[in-house]
């Protein structure tokens, strides 16, 4: 009865407010990640960093993100989505400000680790909460639109880098990066807890109060709750303490394997490419300011990529959209690495951004749908956390390859190959989940 009324809520101010609030957090998360990519070329010059040291600055945040995703996912299934939101946002926002106070290479590594820890914890929990409130027929679209705020964050980071870093130095980027994240932390104090989470913990009255409140906000005529609740709503389903081992039992092992490989590949390629993108373009012979302009234009292409994915994900499905976008990311990566002029570099870079970030939107939609409520954040967190291992390795590996005089065509052939492989993995092992409620998906999992 409670979940039925939740599913029947009209799409209105609440869902869009939730999208905006979580999306702003996503934007500022992305802005922080983007800032370090834009800061790296300037920082390398000021501190005389080697390519390997630059790679470590990119990778250390990913180490923090891996640990943050795993821990936050586990905690979100135990103490709630909303509470974990607040903790992780506060952590990464304060740590971003501390980066501006870095007095040495080692201190910057430490603060970037903390930033990554908070950032990695926030993202999978945000997607889980949004998926548990979005209506079934539009859930995929809402999650992809949530992920589209990532592109806006990169645009903000590029603007900061283009307009302010040349005038005020790299520290100003981290100072600015602190302020909006703290603002989002305050906004999230007013977000409701997930109704599905509350029911899984037998907190039925709290769930009822949220439904009544939402019906009032959305101008739905509310009726008292009468009649029998379902076993799920009574909290009488078998109590399942979220455990890592359950991800690998017979019921979930193929889904977990598919998600872990897909996350590893997409994170490996994304951070390997985009953490080095300003430096890569600079290596083509452009001035630093010109590099920011090029990356800004290529980043703009991410937005239509998200919107295309948001449409396709509820039309042809999650599995096929994800596989298609990964495959095309590989094709574009290959040609980007073999670009011989500024025009071809820009064209293939824009196409690569279009497909790569569209794939990110789909994987954040797809992942929470593969697990039941009792372990949804846990499963999402571990998939994202394992993926971050790829993100740790890629920036360091690219640094080593550059230092070893590998050409850009070889580096991007590697990334293209990874994209093609994980596209095939999704097609071979993936299960379609479009247009189904989370409860219908749980029924499929039980059978």
- Other CB atoms within a 10 A radius of the CB of residue 161 amount to 27
Percent of the chain having pLDDT more than 70?
85
Determine contact, residues 318/369, Cβ cutoff 8 Å: yes
pLDDT, residue 261, reads: 96
CA distance 420 to 372: 29
Choose from 49-58, 141-150, 334-343, 408-417 the range with maximum mean pLDDT.
Answer: 408-417
Q: Measure the CA angle with vertex 368, ends 386 and 199; round to 5°.
A: 125
Measured on CA atoms in the order 56, 379, 416, 309, is the torsion positive or negative?
negative
Mean pLDDT confidence for 398-421: 86
The closest alpha carbon to 121, from 71, 171, 62, belongs to 71
Q: What is the pTM of this model?
A: 0.75
- CATH number, domain containing residue 90: 1.20.1250.20
- The pairs formed by 327-332 with CB atoms below 8 angstroms and a separation of 24 or more are 327/419, 327/420, 327/423, 328/355, 329/269, 329/355, 329/356, 329/359, 329/419, 330/415, 330/416, 330/417, 330/418, 330/419, 330/420, 330/423, 331/416, 332/356
**Which tokens is 8 given?**
């029947």
Count up the domains in the chain and report the number: 1
pLDDT class of 237 with cuts at 50, 70, 90 = very low
CA distance 263 to 362: 11
The closest alpha carbon to 363, from 235, 270, 230, 438, belongs to 270
Domain range holding 369?
2-446
Mean pLDDT confidence for 284-310: 73
Buried b (16+ CB within 10 A) or exposed e, 210-246: bbbebbeeeebeeeebeeebeebbebebeeeebeeeb
Tens of pLDDT, residue by residue over 51-78, are: 778 778 877 877 888 888 888 878 888 8
**Which tokens is 52 given?**
């390997």
pLDDT class of 278 with cuts at 50, 70, 90 = low
Between 230 and 369, the more confident residue is: 369
Tens of pLDDT, residue by residue over 348-384, are: 888 998 999 899 988 988 888 888 877 887 888 889 8
């Amino acid at each position: 009865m409670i979940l039925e009324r939740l599913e029947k809520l009209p799409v209105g101010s609440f869902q869009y407010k939730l999208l905006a609030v979580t999306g702003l957090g996503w934007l500022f998360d992305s802005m922080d990640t983007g800032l370090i990519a834009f800061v790296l070329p300037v920082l390398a010059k000021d501190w005389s960093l080697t390519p390997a040291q630059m790679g470590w600055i990119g990778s250390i945040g990913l180490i923090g993100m891996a640990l943050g995703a795993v821990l936050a996912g586990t905690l979100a299934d135990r103490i709630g989505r909303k509470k974990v939101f607040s903790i992780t946002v506060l952590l990464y926002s304060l740590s971003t400000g501390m980066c501006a106070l870095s007095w040495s290479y080692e201190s910057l590594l430490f603060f970037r680790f903390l930033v990554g820890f908070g950032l990695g914890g926030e993202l999978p929990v945000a997607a889980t909460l949004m998926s548990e409130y979005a209506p079934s027929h539009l859930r995929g679209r809402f999650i992809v639109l949530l992920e589209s705020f990532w592109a806006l964050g990169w645009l903000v980071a590029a603007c900061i880098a283009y307009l302010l870093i040349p005038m005020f130095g790299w520290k100003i980027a981290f100072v600015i990066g602190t302020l909006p994240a703290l603002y989002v932390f305050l906004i999230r104090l007013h977000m409701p807890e997930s109704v599905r989470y509350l029911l899984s913990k037998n907190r039925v009255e709290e769930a009822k109060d949220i439904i009544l409140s939402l019906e009032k906000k959305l101008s739905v005529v509310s009726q008292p709750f009468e009649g029998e609740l379902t076993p799920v709503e009574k909290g009488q389903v078998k109590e399942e303490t979220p455990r890592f081992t359950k991800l690998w039992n017979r019921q979930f092992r193929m889904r977990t394997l598919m998600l872990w490989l897909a996350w590893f590949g997409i994170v490996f390629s994304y951070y390997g490419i985009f953490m080095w993108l300003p430096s890569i373009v600079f290596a083509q012979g452009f001035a630093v300011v010109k590099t920011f302009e090029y990356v800004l234009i290529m980043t703009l292409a991410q937005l239509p990529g998200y919107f295309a994915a948001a449409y396709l994900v509820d039309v042809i499905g999650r599995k096929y959209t994800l596989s298609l976008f990964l495959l095309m990311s590989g094709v574009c990566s290959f040609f980007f690495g073999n670009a011989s002029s500024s025009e071809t570099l820009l064209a293939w870079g824009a196409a690569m951004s279009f497909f790569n970030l569209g794939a990110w939107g789909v994987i954040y939609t797809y992942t929470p749908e593969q697990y039941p409520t009792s372990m949804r954040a846990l499963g999402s967190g571990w998939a994202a956390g394992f993926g971050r291992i790829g993100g740790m390795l890629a920036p360091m590996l690219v640094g080593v390859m550059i230092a070893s005089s590998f050409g850009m065509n070889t580096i991007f052939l590697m990334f293209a190959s990874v994209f093609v492989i994980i596209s095939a993995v999704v097609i071979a092992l993936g299960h379609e989940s479009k247009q189904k409620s989370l409860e219908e998906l749980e029924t499929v999992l039980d059978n």
